[in-house]
Amino acid sequence: MIEKSYSSEQEFLLNYNPNLYDRPSTSVDTVIFTVFDKALQVLLVQRDDYPFKHKWSLVGGFIDLENDLTLEDTAKRKLEEKTGVKTPYLEQCLTIGNKSRDPRGWSVTTIYFALLTYEDIELKAGKGAIDIKWSPIIKERITDKLAFDHDQILKLAIERLRNKVLYTSLPAYLMPEKFTLRDLQTVYEIILDRTLEVKSFRRRIAKADILEETSEMRQDAKRPARLYRLKENIHTHFFLRNIEGAVNN
């Protein structure tokens, strides 16, 4: 390769040829979580084409270099394409890059995770996929063997979510508009896969000051329960202490 020398930034850029350098493949994958049927669920799509044709995988794709301005745009675009909704919570989780994860060669993928309310979501397989579904996570496992290293990625995302739930109000993003404190606690319990103390939980949520009472009550069977909603313009609350008795590596 011949190295030229330039006399200004501008001149360098005018002569810059991106094809002189080999680049790894770069993609974005999003672990889209929701909760229903007493389980944490993750959105999977069945691949329409090679590699891993017909295998189930996480929601992901390549950056649209023309139209995506940021990596997060790519994640949001794919998410909205599949679910038809905008996510109330999207967090970058990790980037995995190595020579072996994709049979086509060096590949880098940035992983996001999203939390969605299971409500009004109409799944659309869209192009590149022949099917799409929610898959429940039972004991940190799903039934399918996923494409690429998506099993490992899913495991990492679950770990991150579970750990973060110990000191944040993240599960609030999984709730419908109105919900009871018991509903919220149940979502915490589903994610953590353990029961929590009622009193401690309610004290914690009260202290966080993220909810507001509605005037409504909901009655399923016995004593009616107060309905709450998330306060407006509230961000994730970070508690100073973890919920205890859980894994902490």
Partner DNA sequence: GGAATAGTGTCTGTAAGACAATATAGA
Partner DNA sequence: TCTATATTGTCTTACAGACACTATTCC
Q: Is 223 a residue that touches DNA (CB under 7 A)?
A: yes
Nearest to 161 by CA among 221, 94, 225: 94
Q: Which is nearer to DNA, 72 or 189 (CB)?
A: 189
State which of residues 127, 240, 248, 249 lies at the interface with DNA (CB under 7 A). Answer: 240
Q: Which is nearer to a copy of itself, 137 or 166 (CB)?
A: 166
- Catalogue the E-assigned strands of 73-205: 89-98, 107-115, 129-137
State which of residues 200, 209, 212, 238 lies at the interface with DNA (CB under 7 A). Answer: 200
Q: Which is nearer to a copy of itself, 35 or 59 (CB)?
A: 59
Q: How far apart are CA 149 and CA 223, in angstroms?
A: 47
State which of residues 55, 162, 226, 229 lies at the interface with DNA (CB under 7 A). Answer: 226
Q: Is 241 a residue that touches DNA (CB under 7 A)?
A: yes
* 144 half-sphere exposure, CB direction, 13 A CA radius: 22
Q: Is 216 a residue that touches DNA (CB under 7 A)?
A: no
Other CB atoms closer than 10 Å to residue 136's CB: what's the count?
15
Provide the CA 112 distance to its chain's centre, in angstroms.
Answer: 5
Q: Which is nearer to DNA, 77 or 226 (CB)?
A: 226
What are the residues facing 117 on neighbouring strands? none
Gyration radius of the chain over CA positions: 22
Nearest approach in angstroms of CB 174 to DNA is 17
Q: Which is nearer to DNA, 36 or 239 (CB)?
A: 239
Which positions from 150 through 189 interact with DNA, judged by CB under 7 A? 180-182
The SS3 of residue 171 is: helix
CA torsion, points 116, 117, 120, 124, in degrees to nearest 10? 20
State which of residues 197, 209, 212, 216 lies at the interface with DNA (CB under 7 A). Answer: 197
Residues that bind DNA (CB under 7 A): 180-182, 196-200, 202-204, 207, 217, 219-226, 239-241, 243-245
